[in-house]
């Protein structure tokens, strides 16, 4: 895909979503910290939009990053095992809860998993929701049993640092060294290293080139809200590859996702009920508890 084509298609999407939201170019410029002339150039496709600025535009327009970039609908042809591994990785990435990702990994190695981290993640999620709803951090901290720092949104690394982690993750899945990837892209190992460490801003066109070289979609390299990138993914792939029987692989995947779904529902509901009980005792409004936990009024009344 030519660079100019990517830029023009992005320009069309930005203009379309801005119009849908009822913003003028001047409105958008003020919200993302640039001049009106810059937004005009963005929407004409005569000026590159950095990935960082594209995320800022997406946030202002209340859309996902993938709503602003062209995504190829062409299916990438891979060998059977590569396609299977790719699907496995994508399914793994749909597990948002940190402990449940560990469940997936450890069940693949046929070992037991505790529930402590899953409960902690649910507590943190509810606590942050309550703070956003306007309840004092001190009150939330005391009621839920977390530190004050755990009750507020943590500072994460830069967008480029997080994308760099994904590049490295997929490079390892493909079993490429930085030198291998650099040679396939006709660039230097230092450039790949800089991208993976988030030391430099990676141009969107370069991100497309990396995705193409790794035989993945551009969306596989973009970060999602509250996403947790696990360092155990390459080990997961190695363990999975050791399973020779295709029937066993299928049975394992099927049972894993059934178990994960059941575990997720039971663990999170139980933790929500426990937290709600503590909040009721702490005098927190029932309306707030219902809104933050997603429990029904009947469930709250049972407490």
Kindly list the averaged pLDDT for each block of 10 residues, start to end, along the chain of length 303: 74 94 94 94 92 92 89 64 69 66 55 45 75 73 72 59 89 92 92 85 89 90 57 63 72 67 70 80 81 77 69
- Residue 79 has which token pair? 């060998």
- Residue 129 has which token pair? 């929701």
Q: Per the domain annotation, does 102 fall within a domain?
A: no
Structure-token match 């810059």, residue found: 38
Q: Per the domain annotation, does 163 fall within a domain?
A: no
From 279, 244, 296, 15, select the one nearest 130 (Cα to Cα): 279
Q: What is the pLDDT of residue 214?
A: 93
Q: What is the pLDDT of residue 110?
A: 40
Distance of CA 156 to the CA centre of its chain: 12
Q: Quote the number of domains for the chain.
A: 1
Q: What is the pLDDT of residue 231?
A: 52
Q: What is the pLDDT of residue 180?
A: 95
Q: Per the domain annotation, does 161 fall within a domain?
A: no
Q: Which structural domain range is residue 35 located in?
A: 3-67
Q: Per the domain annotation, does 90 fall within a domain?
A: no
Q: What is the pLDDT of residue 156?
A: 43
- Residue 270 has which token pair? 């139980």
CB within 8 Å of 219: residues ≥ 6 apart: 66, 71
How far is it, in rounded angstroms, from Cα 98 to Cα 75? 30
- Count other C-beta atoms under 10 Å from residue 110's C-beta: 8
How far is it, in rounded angstroms, from Cα 181 to Cα 232? 21
Q: Which alpha helices (H) appear in the chain, and where do they start and end?
A: 3-20, 25-32, 36-44, 51-60, 80-93, 98-108, 116-132, 137-144, 159-173, 178-184, 189-197, 204-213, 233-241, 246-281, 286-293, 297-301
Q: Per the domain annotation, does 253 fall within a domain?
A: no
Q: Per the domain annotation, does 47 fall within a domain?
A: yes
Q: What is the CATH number of the domain that holds 31?
A: 1.10.260.40
From 103, 104, 87, select the one nearest 220 (Cα to Cα): 87
- Residue 125 has which token pair? 């999620």
Q: Per the domain annotation, does 76 fall within a domain?
A: no
How far is it, in rounded angstroms, from Cα 84 to Cα 82? 5
Q: What is the pLDDT of residue 86?
A: 73
Q: What is the pLDDT of residue 194?
A: 85
CA 200-1-88 angle, 5° bins: 75
Q: Per the domain annotation, does 276 fall within a domain?
A: no
How far is it, in rounded angstroms, from Cα 166 to Cα 169? 5
CB within 8 Å of 227: residues ≥ 6 apart: 93, 96, 162
Q: What is the pLDDT of residue 122?
A: 72
Q: What is the pLDDT of residue 187?
A: 92
């Amino acid at each position: 895909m030519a660079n100019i084509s990517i830029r023009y298609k992005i320009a069309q999407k930005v203009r379309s979503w801005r119009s849908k939201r009822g913003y003028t170019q001047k409105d958008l410029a003020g919200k993302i910290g640039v001049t009106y002339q810059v937004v005009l150039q963005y929407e004409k496709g005569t000026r590159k939009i950095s990935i960082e600025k594209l995320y800022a535009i997406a946030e202002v327009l209340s859309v996902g990053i993938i709503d602003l970039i062209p995504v190829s609908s062409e299916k990438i042809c891979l060998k059977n095992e590569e396609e299977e591994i790719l699907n496995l990785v994508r399914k793994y990435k749909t597990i948002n809860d940190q402990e449940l990702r560990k469940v997936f990994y450890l069940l693949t190695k046929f070992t037991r998993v505790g529930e402590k981290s899953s409960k902690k993640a649910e507590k943190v999620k509810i606590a942050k929701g309550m703070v956003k709803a306007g309840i004092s951090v001190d009150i939330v901290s005391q009621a839920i049993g977390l530190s004050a720092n755990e009750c507020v949104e943590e500072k994460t690394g830069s967008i480029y640092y997080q994308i760099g982690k994904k590049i490295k993750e997929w490079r390892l899945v493909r079993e490429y060294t930085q030198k291998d990837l650099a040679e396939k892209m006709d660039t230097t190992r230092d450039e790949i290293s800089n991208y993976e460490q988030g030391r430099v801003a990676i141009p969107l066109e370069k991100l497309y080139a990396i995705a193409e070289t790794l035989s993945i979609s551009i969306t596989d390299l973009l970060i999602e809200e509250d996403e947790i990138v696990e360092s155990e993914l390459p080990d997961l792939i190695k363990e999975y590859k050791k399973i020779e029987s295709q029937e066993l692989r299928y049975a394992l995947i099927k049972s894993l996702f059934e178990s994960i779904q059941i575990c997720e529902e039971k663990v999170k509901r139980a933790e929500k009920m426990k937290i709600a009980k503590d909040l009721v005792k702490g005098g927190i409004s029932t309306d707030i508890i219902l809104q933050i936990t997603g429990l029904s009024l009947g469930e709250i009344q049972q407490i």
